[in-house]
Structure 1
């Protein structure tokens, strides 16, 4: 079967690999659609997170059950499923408390084991979620990143009185706007990004205002800011635009170390809060929200590629072409 595999920094190849064998507690899933995540791009550019080289990349997927192991009881052939790609260590303090998203050794499919940028993937039955009946399977492929947005909004405890800024309107930023507007009824959402095309998508998602930079409205402050860009300048600017007692929600993976001025944190009594992936319940909720059309995420998908075009997909996502939002593979 074909697979998009990581061989080194900016070295992604499409290769033939063997179909995985099935263990008794595993389900064989024929991948229908698989999305490229920002963390896949971090692997591509920097080799972050990756354990095995070469490795089949990818962790966001929706697919159909084609075979079940002897010990599998909750799935049948033909079920449409979404995968929970988190691979916790099961040993650390967080795992023992059931807080798997804060596992000290948390890994993902496509990093510590075979990923989903291929035709088939064998997954433990405990790591699959059955999708409710739906007309558009492709959109359910965005359940995993939507779960990230649900987790952000839950931690931020958004409400109808909030005036929020979202810094960075990539897929996670855009999905956070959708959730904040649709489920939490946030009063005002300002989307901040250098890309005109991304800001147009932000308006579609529900943003009230858009800024190309932080000079757009000097002096404007926010009680809650979500930092989804992951660079020094956006972090500094976001921190400076918080009102006293404001909260900065950090959701980005930073490729480079950054410095922090602690004085502004002290003087304004600011909170900096980390938001890491999601819970099982949030992934289940995200799957249901998309499948039942309570949330529309279709406009985020700007490009579709076959597996054979895997190298081209990563090159495009890493280019200066900011018209690209979400790229999905269709194995």
Structure 2
């Protein structure tokens, strides 16, 4: 089988590997398509401290089950499925309270174990979620990115009374905008980014107002319009954002952090406690695949709006280059196997 492998940071190869066979409790998926994520680029560039090399990358993938291991019902062969990249132990404290995404023994497909940028992949049977025929293949490949939005929204609990501010109109921000609009029905969505073309994407995906905060002070802009956000999502993850979000937030607001920077930031305890703010962090997803598949089945989100490019997997280097360099026009890139 052909697999896209990062041999060492900066060295990507399409190599021939032996066909993988599912172990007990596993299924094998014949991959049809896979999405490129920023974390794939980070592994390629050597910026992910958790990745071990060589590594087959890719954690957003869709295909069909073509083999099962011992203990898995053979009737599953042929199922259309997407793979949850979170592989957890099931018995540690986080797992016992429904948060397998921060399992004490967490393995992430495409990071700690080989991923979906391959013609075939094996994974635990419980991680392969059936996709109904009403969801087209390309949209099915987008389930995993929307689980990231589902995970942070499950903590923020947005609703019709909320005014939301989203920092960043990349894939994480756009999936969050769609969820806030189509699933949770928030009153108003404001998006801040420094690329006008990304802000246009935000409007296409449901934003009510957008602001390019390259040279405009966001705090002054909001105050001028009498806006105090009650839900703030940081999908840009720069260390300057959290202190600013605390200052902008309404009393009793909720702030969600979707990623991380290793650089420190300085925040005021008084700014948090005086308004009794709630601050949440989010990593990967905690069993959100069924939820997102339901969203897509009910047409509450439109994943096709995020897909801007498609390439055969043999052109992965060009696909990665476009994803990494063309932030004005590129959102989600799919590889076809």
- TM-score, structure 1 as length reference: 0.92
> In 2, Cα distance between the equivalents of 1:259 and 1:50?
23
Taking the TM superposition and a 5 Å limit, the aligned residue runs for 1:6-21 are 6-21=6-21
d(CA) in 2 for partners of 1:299, 1:70:
40
* Aligned residue pair count: 329
Structure 2: where are the runs of 5+ without partners? none
Residues 3, 307 of structure 1: 8 Å contact kept: no
2:298 and 2:11 map into 1 onto residues whose CA distance is 38
Indicate the residue corresponding to 2:217 in structure 1.
215
Which residue does 1:232 correspond to in 2?
A: 239
- 2:24 is aligned to 24
Output aligned runs, 1:294-313, within 5 Å.
294-313=300-319
**Could you report, residue by residue, the CA deviation over 1:126-172 in whole angstroms, capped at 9, with x for unpaired residues?**
21111112251110111111112112222111111111101011111
Name the CA distance, whole Å, in 1 between partners of 2:11 and 2:252: 45
**2:167 pairs with 1:161:** no
Q: Distance in 1 between matches of 2:75 and 2:39?
A: 29
Residue 261 (structure 1) aligns with: 267
1:227–1:249 Cα contact (<8 Å) kept: yes
| Residue correspondence of structure 1 range 274-313 to structure 2 within 5 A | 274-280=281-287, 282-313=288-319
CA contact (8 A) 1:5 1:13 kept: yes
CA deviations 1:199-245 (Å, max 9, x no partner) are 11111111100011152515243122000101123333323321233
**Separation in structure 1 between the aligned mates of residue 103 and residue 198 of structure 2, nearest angstrom:** 32
Greater relative contact order (Cα < 8 A, sep 6+): 1
In the alignment, is the contact (CA less than 8 A) between 1:132 and 1:288 conserved in 2?
no
Residue range with higher mean Cα deviation, 241-250 or 91-100: 91-100
CA-CA distance at 1:74 after TM superposition: 6.8
Contact between 2:135 and 2:296, CA under 8 Å: does it hold in 1? Answer: no
Q: Which structure 2 residues correspond to residues 46-57 of structure 1 after superposition, within 5 A?
A: 46-57=46-57
SS at match of 2:132: coil
Shift of 1:292: 5.0
Answer yes or no: is the 8 Å Cα contact 1:62–1:140 preserved in 2: yes
Q: Distance in 2 between matches of 1:55 and 1:176?
A: 29
TM superposition shift of 1:49: 4.7
Q: Could you tell me how far apart the structure 1 residues matched to 2:274 and 2:300 are?
A: 42
Matches within 5 A, 1:2-81: 2-73=2-73, 75-81=75-81
**What is the aligned partner in structure 2 of residue 115 from structure 1?**
115
Match of 1:248 among 234, 239, 255: 255
Indicate whether 1:173 and 2:201 are aligned. Answer: no
Query: Equivalents in 1 of 2:71, 2:200: separation in Å?
Result: 49
TM-score computed with the length of structure 2 as normaliser? 0.90
Structure 1: runs of 5 or more not aligned: none
Q: Please, what is the CA RMSD of the aligned residues?
A: 2.1
How far is the alpha carbon of 1:82 from its aligned partner? 1.1
Residue aligning to 2:325:
319
Q: In 1, Cα distance between the equivalents of 2:175 and 2:59? A: 18
- Return the offset for 1:193: 0.9
Counterpart for residue 87 of structure 1:
87
